[in-house]
């Protein structure tokens, strides 16, 4: 029958739906970790989301979650990488934030803007001098959205050093970047008072 789904496709679709409906527990963790090796992008993304929902649970420590999701950041599929970044962002562990900050720092300026954007959105929830400096470095990225995301993140967590960098960026030729830098600098001023 033309257009009919194969048994394998149906099985994968059911797997994706199952991950969304089963409660996070030790058995789900084991199944989800195995599913990370599946060839189906949909199954991998569902498994990643399921593992992300387990962040902070007693049966899955943060570092184990980092170890199983980190390889997904190297997957050839952009959606899998994005799901992994979002899942890692649910972990409230500074070591995970530092790992993501390292990835951000080592991603070339102007390339992989969507990865940088997603990582910045995770890092805006963390506050350390190292992360602040890495975010400041993103203010000169070749992608406008990365620059604006860095401005917004620094507005939430940055200190005096970030405020100075943002003040300089307010003179940007790009009005959107200048406006984002101004809002972020004002946010720091209100927060730091």
Instruction: Tell me the pLDDT tens digit for each residue of 37-81.
Output: 988 888 898 889 888 888 877 777 877 888 888 889 888 888 899
Residues 85 and 98 in one domain: no
Q: Is residue 102 part of a domain?
A: yes
27 compared with 168, residue with greater pLDDT: 168
Residues 142 and 72 in one domain: no
pLDDT at 21 over 90: no
pLDDT at 20 over 70: no
Residues 65 and 106 in one domain: no
Residues 83 and 45 in one domain: yes
Parent domain of 122 = 94-193
Overall domain count for the chain: 2
Residues 156 and 175 in one domain: yes
Query: Mean pLDDT throughout 13-20?
Result: 68
Closest CA relative to residue 41, chosen from 7, 64, 13: 13
Residues 188 and 157 in one domain: yes
Q: What is the pLDDT of residue 109?
A: 63
What CATH number does the domain containing 179 carry?
1.25.10.10
Q: What is the pLDDT of residue 147?
A: 96
Residues 101 and 153 in one domain: yes
Long-range interactions of 98-107: CB distance < 8 A, separation 24+:
98/128, 98/130, 98/131, 99/66, 99/70, 101/130, 101/131, 101/134, 103/73, 104/134, 104/138, 105/134, 105/137
Last residue of a domain, one of 43, 76, 92: 92
Residues 114 and 56 in one domain: no
Q: In angstroms, what CA-CA distances link 59 with 14, 27, 29, 65, 174?
A: 25, 10, 8, 10, 48
Cα 66 to Cα 88: distance, rounded to the nearest angstrom: 7
Residues 76 and 108 in one domain: no
Q: What is the pLDDT of residue 123?
A: 92
Instruction: Tell me the pLDDT tens digit for each residue of 139-191.
Output: 999 899 999 999 999 999 999 999 999 999 999 999 999 999 999 999 999 98
pLDDT at 5 over 70: no
Q: What is the pTM of this model?
A: 0.78
Give residue 134's pLDDT band: very low, low, confident or very high (50, 70, 90): very high
Residues 17 and 83 in one domain: yes
Give residue 138's pLDDT band: very low, low, confident or very high (50, 70, 90): very high
Instruction: Tell me the pLDDT tens digit for each residue of 79-131.
Output: 899 899 888 888 877 888 888 888 888 876 655 888 899 899 999 988 889 99
Q: What is the pLDDT of residue 4?
A: 61
Residues 191 and 120 in one domain: yes
Residues 98 and 192 in one domain: yes
Q: What is the pLDDT of residue 88?
A: 87
Q: What is the pLDDT of residue 24?
A: 77
Last residue of a domain, one of 77, 92, 107: 92
Q: Is residue 64 part of a domain?
A: yes
């Amino acid at each position: 029958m033309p257009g009919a789904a194969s048994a394998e496709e149906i099985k994968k679709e059911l797997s994706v739906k199952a991950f969304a409906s089963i409660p996070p527990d030790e058995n789900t963790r084991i199944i989800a970790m195995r599913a990370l090796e599946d060839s189906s992008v949909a199954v991998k993304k569902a498994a990643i989301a399921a593992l992300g929902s387990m962040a902070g649970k007693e049966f899955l420590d943060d570092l184990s979650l980092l170890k199983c999701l980190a390889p997904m950041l190297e997957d050839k599929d952009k959606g899998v990488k994005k799901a992994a970044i979002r899942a890692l962002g649910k972990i409230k562990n500074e070591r995970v934030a530092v790992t993501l900050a390292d990835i951000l720092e080592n991603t070339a300026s102007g390339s992989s803007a969507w990865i940088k954007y997603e990582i910045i959105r995770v890092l805006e929830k963390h506050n350390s001098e190292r992360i602040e400096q890495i975010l400041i470095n993103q203010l000169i990225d070749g992608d406008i959205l990365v620059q604006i995301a860095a401005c917004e993140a620094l507005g939430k967590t940055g200190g005096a050093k970030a405020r100075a960098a943002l003040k300089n960026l307010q003179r940007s030729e790009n009005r959107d970047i200048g406006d984002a830098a101004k809002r972020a600098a004002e946010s720091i001023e209100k927060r730091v008072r």
